[in-house]
Amino acid sequence: MLEGSILQKLYTRHQDTDRPLNFGVYYKNTLVALCHALEDFILNTKSSPLVIAAFQQGKWYLQEADRYGDLADKARKIAIMAAPNTGFAEHPTSQRDNVRLVDLDPTTDPVAQEWHLIICSPSYTAMVLCQELSEEDYGKTGVPEHDLERKFYGFWTFEPELVKEAADLAIAHIGNYDATLQAELEKHAATVGEQLGTVEKEDTGVVVSQVVDYLQNSQAELINEQQAVADSQQSYLPQSQELDDNLLSNEMQAFLRMAQLIDQADLQNPMAAAEVTALAEAMGEVLDIPGWQQKRLRLASLLHRLVPSLGATPTSEDDPEKAPSCDLIPSVEALRAMPQMSAIARIITHQTENWDGSGKPGQLAYDNIPLESRILALASYFQNRVNELRMNQETDSREATLDQAYSECQEQANIRFDPKLVEALSLLVAGMQQGMSLETSQPKIAAGIWLLDTEPEKNMTSN
């Protein structure tokens, strides 16, 4: 990591905190698709964002200059950092009143080796923060000949606090070249901060759906390009599987990051995903389910809040139009569109079914409900009730809290919950009352592809 770069400064800030940054490796084709998705969503946002970008070289900016002209129609201000090249400043977009270029010194400035996109508005925040691998980093394989195989390390996120931190660092760096622009950007950033809470937040599910769509289109374009190259017999892409895996990894990251945002937004239950995951995995161990199913259960647990209203008990009087169906949830629809994630989509879709068949959305009953969905239904309900009892101080001890939450689960055995799973939960509750703790941890999102399973859909109802 280059000393003095924006990525390095942000990493150092978080190194010894409870929120250390986890970096992944990204191919250029992945970053192009990801940035296009995050940029294009600006055109549909409810507010005007501040946008700060770093393009390494002016020639890369020129490839995107027309797109940035469209973004300038919506953005309050766009600042672009890059080493100057012929035509960099002459493009019409660069002449816009709300677009400013910052010429980086490619020989001394580490930011000239970085690829950044920072979007700050009261309704939408997103960021890509990456640095290109050095020649030494590539090792024996050397710098790739094909442009799409260039590699970068870093991360991307929707988290408002991280985006704001990176924006502050980027604005301060711009001040090394243009103090007037720095002051102007600081005012815009302050205005964005003042408007927080006054503008309705964007639906992150729509953003995630767009990210996945762009990544999948990028993969299709890559396949077409590979075929064209093969037909011409001029060259080929030797790491095509790695490129495909990198795109898939980012599709997964999009869903995990959305789930992370849902937890962060819930001030009453911010650890729901991690705690439900720990509880569900423990139940899976008690039931001795196979490893591939345990892996599937873990990923579904991390994503279970993509389907809302888990804490409420469904009744026959519920309005069908308000039932917990996934038909209108963009992020779950995007999950369904991914072959590798279709099983996960089915699990989280059917976690709101009832054991007796009275639930939604499919009115499945008994063993027709996927086992992972049944585990998730019980684990999420139990975790939610324990958290509510603790927050409301309705019981006077940890043991009493666990007893009360478990008793409520028992009352719904054979109705809402699988009675065999309620029995398995009793073993865990007894252990927790005697001091056993379930390890909870946030996933390393940048390395999440290992969570994918390769088992066929036919195993969905095994138990």
One-letter identity of residue 172: A
- Considering the domain architecture, whether residues 178 and 291 belong to the same structural domain is answered as no
User: Which of 71-75, 144-148, 338-342, 366-370 shows the lowest per-residue confidence on average (mean pLDDT)?
Assistant: 144-148
Same-domain pairing of 343 and 195: no
The secondary structure element, H or E, covering residue 56 is strand 50-57
Tokens of 242: 């790695």
Contact between 244 and 215 (Cβ < 8 Å): no
pLDDT digits over 162-187, tens only? Answer: 999 999 999 999 999 999 999 999 99
Domain closes at, from 165, 182, 202: 202
Strand order in the sheet with 114-120: 24-27, 151-157, 125-132, 114-120, 50-57, 77-83, 99-103
Domain limits for position 194? 6-202
353-408 pLDDT per residue, tens: 999 999 988 899 999 999 999 999 999 999 999 999 998 887 778 899 999 999 99
Q: Is residue 241 part of a domain?
A: no
Q: Identify the CATH number of the domain in which residue 431 sits.
A: 1.10.3210.10
State the average pLDDT for the chain.
83
Asked if 440 contacts 271 with a C-beta cutoff of 8 angstroms, the reply is yes
198 with 286, same domain: the answer is no
In the predicted structure, residue 276 carries a pLDDT above the cut 90: yes
The reply to whether 156 and 288 lie within a common domain is no
- Number of CB atoms found within 10 A of residue 418's CB: 22
Residues 178 and 273 in one domain: no
> Does 219 reside within a domain?
no
Q: How far apart are CA 208 and CA 41, in angstroms?
A: 10
Tell whether the model's pLDDT for residue 257 goes beyond 50.
yes
Domains held by the chain: number: 2
Q: Does 321 score more than 60 pLDDT? A: no
Q: Which of 362, 352, 367 is nearest to 419 (CA)?
A: 367
CA atoms of 2 and 215, how far apart (whole Å): 28
Listed residue (249, 245, 265, 155) closest to 204, CA to CA = 265
